[in-house]
Structure 1
Amino acid sequence: MKLCISAVLSLLLTGTAFLNHAADLTLRFGTPFVTNSNLHKAMEKFAEVVAKESEGKIKVQIYADSQIGDIQQLIAGMQLGTVDMAYLGVGNSGQLKGCGPLNVSYLPYLFKSKKAAEDGLNGPIFQELYEQCAQSAGVRIFAVAGDRSPRAIVTTKGPILKPEDLNGLRMRIPPIPIFRDTFEAVGVKVVPLGLNEVYMALSRGQVDGQDNGFDLTLSFRFHEVSKFWSATDHCYDMAAFYVSERKWKTFTPEQKALFKRAAAEGGKLATQLGEELDKHGLEELKKAGVNYVVPDRAAFAKAWANVYKNYEGKVWPDGLVQRIKAAQK
């Protein structure tokens, strides 16, 4: 009898200890970025810092490769509360009601360098836009951290040396209006596809190209099936940590501060790994037999100079583009 009581007490104590060490809060954190990419590693770093500093009370479950949804589905999930957090591009929220001004981040040649993009996207002009988006759409960007590779035009037909070379090509373009307008302005037939659909579409000839830099092109292996790389550098972007606004409101000030610290650590790692990738990316392209060219960027900038006019005073306030450019050092 004593043995049985001892066994029961032991089980109860063990169960209590387990409960004490279980996470009090579990967060679903999704992304379309591929596993083991520099951006996925940023998410892992974020989860690691959160777990360590919360002493295991907060657990972040990571879902890469669009496991719980593509970009639109992740954003919708955060609005509905079925997804807690996501790691996406800054302008991905521009499709939401009240978030239209964030489309400006994808305007071609808005930023003159990576540093200018980092400063601008973390500066007061964009902070105001993030807050507006959170209040209007229920999705908050709480940290912008993690440099992206400059966007390039990567095709199965080429080389692409000038805007006219794109006329008639079918390209996978992100499902964002300003990207669509940008490429349609030079005669591209835009094909909306999720990132995880692009490789097969390229290999089957369903599309002729896509526009991503070293980070996504190499991690998704698009360079295996598209052998012409045009380094247009038409967009400098950064990754952003998104959160459901309804979930954000449940966090304590200490938890919010922790998430921002963890995001900064994750973004720092993504940037370091991304810089290494950019440095060695050209070698990878050469090994794969990719034809790498630097096109006439001034010609592309001229071809896209009027894209903003479709948005000025309609999607974003008059003078926003000028303010952003004037703030760059």
Structure 2
Amino acid sequence: MLKVQGAASAALGRRDLLRSGVGALAALGAPRIVHAAGTGRALKMSYLFDHDSQLGAGADEFARRTKSATDGAWRIDQYPGGAFGGELEMIEALRKGELDLAFITGAVFANVAPGFGILDLPFLFRNAAHAHAVLDGPIGRTMLDRFRQHDLVALAWGENGMRHITNSLRPIHTPEDLRGLKMRVPQSDVMLRCFRQLGVDTAPMAFPALYGALESGRFDGQENPIAVIRAAEFDRVQQHLTLTGHIYSNAVIFMSKDAWSSLGAKERGVFLEAAHAGGAASRQRAGRDDREGVDILRASGMQVVSMVNRAAFRAALEPTWSNFATEFGPDLVSRIEAVPTATGNRG
């Protein structure tokens, strides 16, 4: 459970914190923080979701490994729940050295460099196991290295999860069912334009304000991984869930250049290994939540459409999808699609 600093903060439940957004955090005057035990040098690590989330699971494993491998010389203090603002704000805080570490989901990476938008193409990945094979191979390693050109040190890939659609109006079986829906999507030009191709009235919004926008009717729906839908309790304001799995939502553990520069060669190896373990832990948690979460959401009253014709949705995205594929490089798209899924990986 999330630890909250200060008596006023402690009075707020997890759901209220998720709904209240960044403005409420500022009003409280103190960030939410999960202190690591020990007296070693502290590094600040932030992420968008609650501590009890796939990102929190990854951050916990990263912190544990770091502390163990350095005999407590370093500790990671976690600031969950958007304590440093939205993910674009976290990126700026990393660049300015105001934040040491962040676990950031991939929906905002195209704002760092347009080429990263290729990972936002709907139906590019067959499933999570295919995405793992791509990101853990040469393509993924090259992309992590490219963040250095943008004043960010990317340590390892993690996972947010496969994205699915919820809404408050009607079940979604076909692409035509999406027409006219007002939907929030993340701050990604690729996702905005692709959903508009499907006839959706879309707009971006930072995650902390989303629950209130759904509750008020500003948006009819949204799309996120099952773990996020559950943690944010969107089932309270959304009646329908469609398991489209339209986008694999990756995440990356970042370190600021200042913090990275302060490490010796051996310490850098420790942090890299810890980050890979943290990324793996986030994948395991996201996979578990994906497997178990749908039944929980169904039991809460959501009507679930469990299967859709992915080919029909993909065809309905033309010509926007092909235009983006050309922009990002058709050869790269073909290479991604050709990567085999490793036997035994989660699908």
Aligned to 1:3: none
1:158-307, aligned counterparts within 5 Å? 158-293=170-305, 294-307=307-320
Cα deviation for residue 140 of structure 1 reads 2.5
1:26-175, aligned counterparts within 5 Å? 26-96=42-112, 99-135=113-149, 137-145=150-158, 147-175=159-187
**Structure 1 outlier segments of 4+, above 6 Å:** none
Matched-pair identity in % = 26
- Asked whether the equivalents of residues 91 and 104 of structure 1 are also in contact (C-alpha less than 8 Å), the reply is no
> Structure 2 CA distance, aligned partners of 1:196 and 1:236?
21
> Structure 2 CA distance, aligned partners of 1:308 and 1:244?
34
Cα deviation for residue 298 of structure 1 reads 1.8
Residue aligned with 1:311, SS: helix
Label 1:308 to 1:71 Cα distance change in 2 as closer, same or farther (>3 A). Answer: same
Cα deviation for residue 275 of structure 1 reads 2.5
Look at both structures and tell me which one has the larger radius of gyration over its CA atoms.
1
Aligned to 2:20: none
* Per-residue Cα deviation, 1:22-56 (whole angstroms, up to 9, x for no partner): 42x32111111122113212212211221122122
- Asked whether the equivalents of residues 156 and 209 of structure 1 are also in contact (C-alpha less than 8 Å), the reply is yes
Q: Which amino acid aligns with 2:151?
A: G
Residue aligned with 2:294, SS: helix
> Structure 1 CA distance, aligned partners of 2:75 and 2:187?
31
Residue aligned with 1:154, SS: strand
- Asked whether the equivalents of residues 183 and 221 of structure 2 are also in contact (C-alpha less than 8 Å), the reply is yes
> Structure 1 CA distance, aligned partners of 2:85 and 2:209?
13
Residue aligned with 2:244, SS: coil
> Structure 2 CA distance, aligned partners of 1:271 and 1:181?
28
> Structure 1 CA distance, aligned partners of 2:313 and 2:71?
51
* Per-residue Cα deviation, 1:119-178 (whole angstroms, up to 9, x for no partner): 10122123222222212x101321013x43321110011111111111121111000111
Computed over aligned residues only, the root mean square deviation of the Cα atoms, in angstroms, reads: 1.8
Q: Which amino acid aligns with 1:306?
A: P
Cα deviation for residue 258 of structure 1 reads 1.1
Q: How many residues align?
A: 303
> Structure 2 CA distance, aligned partners of 1:140 and 1:104?
20
> Structure 2 CA distance, aligned partners of 1:35 and 1:120?
28
* Per-residue Cα deviation, 1:276-304 (whole angstroms, up to 9, x for no partner): 22222122112211010023322111112
User: Normalising to structure 2: TM-score of the pair?
Assistant: 0.82
Aligned to 1:16: none
- Asked whether the equivalents of residues 30 and 69 of structure 1 are also in contact (C-alpha less than 8 Å), the reply is no
Residue aligned with 1:105, SS: helix
- Asked whether the equivalents of residues 155 and 226 of structure 1 are also in contact (C-alpha less than 8 Å), the reply is yes
Cα deviation for residue 231 of structure 1 reads 0.8
Aligned to 2:28: none
> Structure 2 CA distance, aligned partners of 1:317 and 1:139?
24
In structure 1, the gaps of 5 or more residues are: 1-20
- Asked whether the equivalents of residues 155 and 276 of structure 2 are also in contact (C-alpha less than 8 Å), the reply is no
Residue aligned with 1:212, SS: strand
